[in-house]
Amino acid sequence: MEHVAEHQVRAHAPANTMRPLSYRVRQYRAETEDTFSIMIEPEDGQSIGRFAPGQFNMLYAHGAGESAISISSDPRHPRELWHTIRRAGIVTNAIGRLRKGDWIGVRGPYGASWPMHEAQGKDVLIVAGGIGLAPLRPALLQILAERHKYEGIFLLYGARTPDDLLFRRQLEQWRGRLDAHVGVTVDRAPTTWRGEVGVVTTLIPLAPFNPLRTVAMICGPELMMRFTARDLIDDGVPMDQIYISMERNMKCGIGFCGHCQWGRYFVCKDGPVFRYDSVQALMGIREL
């Protein structure tokens, strides 16, 4: 179990783990042109229960199929369960057509969480790219709610354009906080944009964290995570204090089917959150 930290929360597969629970869509919110969030509630009182930041659910759209989707809401309010989803295929498009009152099946929560306990008493550096902010949002919400447990809080977020930024209103609120450093950058922007322009790694030198006493949580496309981790290591952050959230084609969610095998790991069961020193070698293998 060297790929996770000692206190990372891990899913325990219940006996009926392949049977989805009945939920109803309560709210739908468009985030960007191709991304939306839905809030779902249990239909008959039976819920998935509590979840930890970084875990995911298998969402089932009737007649279309299942997809692994990270939970994007506040873990202190597990009954207000939000997922933020990019329309990318048949299932996510079907989920995107659901509206208030529509049925959806839910299995979960699955996977290893962000290292919330290990981060206590340290600087926390959260680096998100594109929709990668969604799985990190529960961690940030929990950290901000328990602000006294952590040292400096740094959120660095990059997206293609200003129109591709998620949770824009909340980002503004976070940027207004005096007890957190929030950097937002886009790849290209009209001149009306008053924020940074450049890839998310260009924000790293502007964030005054203490490398040796920092826990870094990175989520985004694999390439972005690899380059971010490399820059952090160059800046002195130890590899065993860097965590990434991986994405693979997850089907069962519990490590039975093998679809998400990544070297000796199953991303659904052993991840999706991995400590970087345990997977760095895998990230360089092209066949994986």
Partner 1 sequence: METLEPILAEHPFLKGLPDHYLEMVVGCASNVVFEPDQFLFRDGQEADSFYIIRKGRVALEIFIPGAGPLAIDTYSDGEVLGWSWLVPPYHWHYDARASEQVRAISLDGRCLRGKCEQDMGFGYELLKRFAHLMERRLHATRLQLLDVYGTRR
Query: Which are the contacts of 238, defined by CB distance < 8 A and separation ≥ 6?
Result: 212
Site string for partner 1, 121-140 (x = CB under 8 A): --------xxxx--------
State the minimum distance, in angstroms, from the CB of residue 175 to partner 1.
14
Q: Is the dihedral of CA 216, 217, 219, 222 positive or negative?
A: positive
The answer to the question of residue 227 lying near partner 1 (CB under 8 A) is: yes
State the minimum distance, in angstroms, from the CB of residue 47 to partner 1.
24
Q: Which is nearer to partner 1, 155 or 159 (CB)?
A: 159
The answer to the question of residue 103 lying near partner 1 (CB under 8 A) is: no
User: Which of 190, 27, 177, 19 has the alpha carbon at shortest distance from 105?
Assistant: 19
Q: Judged by CB under 8 A, which of 49, 221, 236, 258 binds partner 1?
A: 221
C-alpha to C-alpha distance for 207 and 193, rounded to whole angstroms:
21
Cα separation of the two ends of the chain: 21
The answer to the question of residue 205 lying near partner 1 (CB under 8 A) is: yes
State the minimum distance, in angstroms, from the CB of residue 140 to partner 1.
17
User: Which of 108, 112, 92, 113 has the alpha carbon at shortest distance from 18?
Assistant: 108
The answer to the question of residue 206 lying near partner 1 (CB under 8 A) is: yes
The answer to the question of residue 251 lying near partner 1 (CB under 8 A) is: no
Q: Which residue has the tokens 């994007």?
A: 72
Q: Is the dihedral of CA 235, 209, 138, 119 positive or negative?
A: positive
Q: Which region, judged by CB under 8 A, interacts with partner 1, from 4-12, 113-121, 197-205, 267-275?
A: 197-205
Cβ-based neighbour number of residue 19 at 10 Å: 9
C-alpha to C-alpha distance for 119 and 142, rounded to whole angstroms:
12
Q: Is the dihedral of CA 194, 200, 205, 209 positive or negative?
A: positive
Q: Judged by CB under 8 A, which of 1, 18, 145, 197 binds partner 1?
A: 197
The answer to the question of residue 247 lying near partner 1 (CB under 8 A) is: yes
C-alpha to C-alpha distance for 228 and 158, rounded to whole angstroms:
11
The answer to the question of residue 55 lying near partner 1 (CB under 8 A) is: no
C-alpha to C-alpha distance for 270 and 255, rounded to whole angstroms:
8
Q: Judged by CB under 8 A, which of 25, 64, 144, 199 binds partner 1?
A: 199
Q: Which is nearer to partner 1, 30 or 197 (CB)?
A: 197
Site string for partner 1, 144-183 (x = CB under 8 A): --------------xxx---x-------------------
Chain positions contacting partner 1, by CB under 8 A: 67-69, 85-86, 88, 92, 129-132, 158-160, 164, 185, 187-191, 193-199, 201-202, 205-206, 219-221, 223-224, 227, 247
